[in-house]
Structure 1
């Protein structure tokens, strides 16, 4: 006789028990995701009861038994907005926490901006600040030593170029003014006096003739009506400065019309009407000017010695 051992049929395992609070939260979440159902059902006690029955069916289909007390808690919590996230009010702490939480998003951009700021400040330091500082130091050194030495050197060159008291007195005045400017820190004024000394020396050493232009096809003279006296006429020889080899020499000339000064080799020399008429008749009769040289500038002198009457005026344009 054999004995049959029968294994009992496996029974379904009971649904795992859920924490009541978690279960209530889940009920609320289920209700919240069914907005239309909530709006329609939560209008009265009868419909709340119907809603509890429907929710019970939903959980039963998932193998979860939910006590009525839990369902009541969930419905009440939904109505009271429990388990609803309420954002933290704006504050410094909230802002700092948000920045920290989103650092991965804005950190790279901030790092790039910081790098650009560092590079930009370095470029300004090495490209602007340091050169300006070096220039300031060099300027201070020039004021302290370089400019006074240069002024003295140019003054001495002027004295070596002339024995005339006029140019020497002018050189002494420019030297004193340049030194005073250097002592006061006025570099621009000191350099202006230095430039004036150099130009004075260059003018003193020049050696040239002033000749009336008499080449075919070129003007030898003109006349102008002065703006100050429309009834008068001013007469000018068109002259040029040339050295002993006939090459043009640039000399400083000041226009009596607008007061501007320029270094030119050709200009209009203001002469009396009688002298202008004499040369005009000669050129009309012979086609030539017998003696075109009207002035001689010798080394050591500032102005030419004129062989014709002149008024001392000149023009630069005609």
Structure 2
């Protein structure tokens, strides 16, 4: 039978397919006529009549081939079994429907990632690469500037902690340590004089009642730091009364009563304090060197 089908002319096959199509559209008729072999002839006659009415002459063997093909379910579309390949093919075919929205989201995602990469990832990578070099440079400067070996040793300890933080990926900690080292370097390299304030309408000294001592007095000279450029220097000063640090250009320095009275008498004489330099902070040290008797305690408010 297969060889017979293969040898059939293309025109006969096309007509047979048409016969099958017509028969499918008249399935009720087919089901009734094919039930019994004797009815096959009646179905054949009906097909002859139908095509003749359309002015189409179809040989009987072609009509019979069409009936046989219907019985054998030839020319019938069988859907491809569902699989991951067919699902993938359906997705690809429907890309015109979902392609633009997905493409738009992909573009938006790419833009956001690009911004994130440029503003966050790249700076952090550069910082990771540059941090060890910066830390080494600052520590070298501190070692060369510090006059006290303890300061240099403490700086090296901080640097080691920073390097461990970098190795652990804790860049925030490493950056914080680097900032502390930079502050230490700046403080070591800074030089200034500590001078008693002697401007018009501004106190050069004050006294305060200490807590829990109604009869006692704490004496303070109001001082300022003057840099090598003759300009006031803003410093971080710790207030012993409230335990808070504050950046300021003027603060109170605690002295004993005799020193306080001597400065007061100096100013009262002609309004000018002759010995107004009470301390000096040279390069290489962290704390000032005072020329007067003082505990070093300070206040920022009065």
- 1:225 Cα deviation after fit: 3.0
- 1:213 Cα deviation after fit: 0.4
Tell me if 1:136 matches 2:143. no
1:8-62 Cα offsets, whole Å, 9 max, x none, are: xxxxxxxxxxxxxxxxxxxxxxxxxxxxxxxxxxxxxxxxxxxxxxxxxxxxxxx
User: Contact (CA 8 Å) 1:164, 1:301: kept in 2 or not?
Assistant: yes
**Structure 1 residues 204 and 281, CA gap change in structure 2 (3 angstroms):** same
| Alignment size in residue pairs | 203
Which residue pairs with 2:300 in the alignment? 316
State the secondary structure of the residue aligned to 1:312: strand
1:149 to 123, 133, 146: 133
Which residue pairs with 2:224 in the alignment? 240
Within 5 Å, give how 1:160-199 maps onto structure 2.
160-199=144-183
State the secondary structure of the residue aligned to 1:247: coil
Which residue pairs with 2:250 in the alignment? 266
State the secondary structure of the residue aligned to 2:142: helix
User: Contact (CA 8 Å) 1:204, 1:299: kept in 2 or not?
Assistant: yes
- 1:216 Cα deviation after fit: 1.9
**Structure 1 residues 260 and 184, CA gap change in structure 2 (3 angstroms):** farther
Tell me if 1:216 matches 2:162. no
Gaps in structure 2 of 5+ consecutive residues? 1-96
State the secondary structure of the residue aligned to 1:216: coil
CA distance in 2, matches of 1:152, 1:287: 51
User: Contact (CA 8 Å) 1:222, 1:236: kept in 2 or not?
Assistant: yes
Gaps in structure 1 of 5+ consecutive residues? 1-110
Which residue pairs with 1:300 in the alignment? 284
CA distance in 2, matches of 1:183, 1:214: 53
CA distance in 2, matches of 1:186, 1:303: 32
CA distance in 2, matches of 1:121, 1:217: 69
CA distance in 1, matches of 2:105, 2:206: 63
- 1:251 Cα deviation after fit: 2.9
